[in-house]
């Protein structure tokens, strides 16, 4: 899931196990959708309980009073004329002060150009103009925030009023099997949506897919970054088993087969030898120096943890025993068979 990195629990060099939490993301839209769906589900469950329990006169009366209460709350939320009037007067005052400061600043600039006033007086009037401009922006912002708050609260109260009316309608209609089945269907759909949202929220917790060691530096510096689906968070290397890439000249590859032993010398540990076995042979040759090469891959057990991904060295593949005569003549025989094959039987 997309989200902003809120918590990072690992750093470079940390040992992690598969399933360990690496980081937590925050997605406000997803959180809001979850809470809205959860609230709506609770309301529908309450309505379903009413349908199943049947209707009593006192419940209808209580529902009517609830409608009146919600209507009064909506009217109260919309009655903010006094607060709005105060802010509008404040904006008008700031606009007048700004206009006056602008004229003074323009007049000062003209007098400064004519050499009739000092520069500091002109700069003072210009500073006052900038202050008035900022004060006007703040007053307009307060008025805008008030309008947004009124709209937000009124929307909530309207929904609550509609829900109260819906509950009264249900109570007055009485308990019917069709109404119960319809409400059960709505509840089931909301529960399904809530489960999907819960699973999506669970994806905001990033877990390690394998056992290994964190190989990405400065992980804590990533806090606050926005991560999209598919973006890499960090690199985890499995130090328990190290893969070996061994380039083999194409003319020698015919002698290599799977599971052949490999003996390696790593430049970091020249006094030690490491053993591996051929695990796979690349189906594609790559440009080497000075000939084309085919990459042979193997794996080394690294229980001591001394080998690191990216280390280099030399190795040889044990392809079986050869006589001295075969070793001396093989290159010449191979060259003849390749260059003069069309003349050979």
CATH of the domain at 297: 2.40.30.170
Give the model's pLDDT for residue 332: 62
Q: What is d(CA 92, CA 140) in angstroms, rounded to the nearest whole number?
A: 10
Tokens of 123: 């700069």
Tell me, yes or no, whether 337 and 213 share the same domain. Answer: no
Q: Is residue 232, in this structure, part of any structural domain at all?
A: no
pLDDT at 329: 59
23 lies in a domain? yes
Instruction: Looking at the structure, tell me whether residues 256 and 138 fall in a common domain.
Output: no
Q: In terms of domains, do 212 and 116 share one?
A: no
Asked whether residue 196 falls in the same domain as residue 218, the answer is no
Cα separation of 6 and 27, whole Å? 10
**Same domain (yes/no): 63, 125:** yes
Burial degree of 201 (CB within 10 A; 0-12, 13-18, 19+): middle
Residue span of the structural domain in which 60 resides: 28-202
Long-range CB contacts (within 8 A, 24+) of 91-98: 91/136, 91/139, 91/140, 91/143, 93/139, 94/132, 94/135, 94/136, 94/139, 95/136, 97/132, 97/135, 97/136, 98/129, 98/132, 98/133, 98/135, 98/136
CA distances to 53, 55, 168 from 172, in Å? 13, 7, 6
Specify the pLDDT at position 196: 92
CA–centroid distance for 167 within its chain: 40
- What single string gives the DSSP state of each residue in 71-121? HHHHHHHH--HHHHHHHHHHHHHHHHHHHHHHHHHHHHHHHHHTT-S-HHH
pLDDT at 192: 92
CA distance linking residue 52 with residue 181, whole number of Å: 10
Q: Is residue 94 domain-shared with residue 59, that is, in the same domain?
A: yes
Does 265 reside within a domain? yes
46 and 183 both lie in a single domain: yes
**Do 41 and 141 sit in the same domain of this protein?**
yes
- CA atoms of 294 and 288, how far apart (whole Å): 9
Of 227, 262, 294, which one is at a domain's C-terminal end? 227
- 10-residue mean pLDDT profile of the chain (345 residues): values are 86 86 89 89 84 71 82 73 77 88 87 83 86 87 79 79 80 69 88 90 88 86 85 82 83 81 86 85 78 85 75 82 60 60 56
Asked if residue 263 belongs to a domain, the reply is yes
pTM of the prediction?
A: 0.43
Which residue reads 């980081």 in tokens? 23
Quote the pLDDT of residue 330.
62
Query: How far is 246 from 278, CA to CA, in rounded Å?
Result: 9
Residue with tokens 């069309």: 342
188 and 260 part of one domain: no
> Looking at the structure, do residues 33 and 103 belong to the same domain, yes or no?
yes
244 and 314 belong to one structural domain: yes
| Residue 233, domain member (yes or no) | no
How far apart are the C-alpha atoms of 263 and 316, rounded to whole Å?
A: 5
- State residue 289's pLDDT score: 63
Number of domains in the chain: 3
């Amino acid at each position: 899931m997309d989200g902003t990195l809120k918590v990072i629990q690992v750093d470079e060099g940390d040992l992690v196990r598969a399933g360990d939490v690496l980081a937590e993301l925050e997605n406000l839209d997803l959180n809001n959708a979850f809470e809205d769906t959860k609230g709506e589900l609770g309301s529908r469950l309450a309505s379903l309980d009413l349908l199943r329990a049947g209707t009593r006169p006192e419940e209808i009366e209580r529902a009517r009073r609830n409608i009146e209460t919600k209507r009064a709350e909506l009217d109260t939320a919309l009655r903010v004329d006094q607060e709005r009037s105060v802010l509008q007067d404040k904006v008008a005052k700031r606009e007048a002060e700004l206009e006056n400061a602008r004229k003074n600043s323009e007049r000062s600039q003209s007098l400064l150009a004519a050499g009739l006033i000092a520069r500091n007086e002109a700069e003072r009037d210009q500073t006052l103009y900038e202050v008035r401009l900022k004060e006007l922006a703040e007053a307009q912002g307060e008025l805008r925030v008030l309008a947004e708050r009124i709209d937000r609260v009124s929307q909530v109260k309207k929904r609550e009023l509609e829900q109260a009316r819906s509950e009264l309608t249900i109570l007055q209609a009485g308990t019917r099997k069709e109404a119960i089945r319809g409400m059960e269907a709505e509840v089931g759909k909301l529960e399904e949506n809530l489960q999907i949202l819960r699973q999506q929220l669970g994806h905001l917790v990033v877990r390690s897919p394998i056992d290994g060691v964190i190989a990405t530096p400065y992980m804590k510096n990533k806090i606050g970054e926005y991560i999209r689906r598919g973006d890499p968070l960090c690199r985890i290397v499995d130090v328990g088993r190290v893969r070996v890439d061994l380039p083999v000249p194409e003319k020698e590859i015919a002698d290599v087969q799977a599971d052949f032993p490999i003996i390696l010398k790593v430049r970091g540990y020249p006094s030690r030898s490491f053993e591996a076995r051929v695990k796979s042979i690349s189906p594609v040759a790559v440009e080497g120096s000075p000939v084309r090469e085919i990459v042979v891959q193997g794996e080394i057990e690294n229980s001591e943890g001394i080998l690191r991904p990216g280390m280099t060295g030399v190795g040889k593949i044990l392809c079986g025993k050869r006589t001295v005569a075969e070793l001396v003549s093989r290159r010449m025989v191979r060259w003849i068979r390749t260059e003069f094959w069309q003349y050979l039987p």
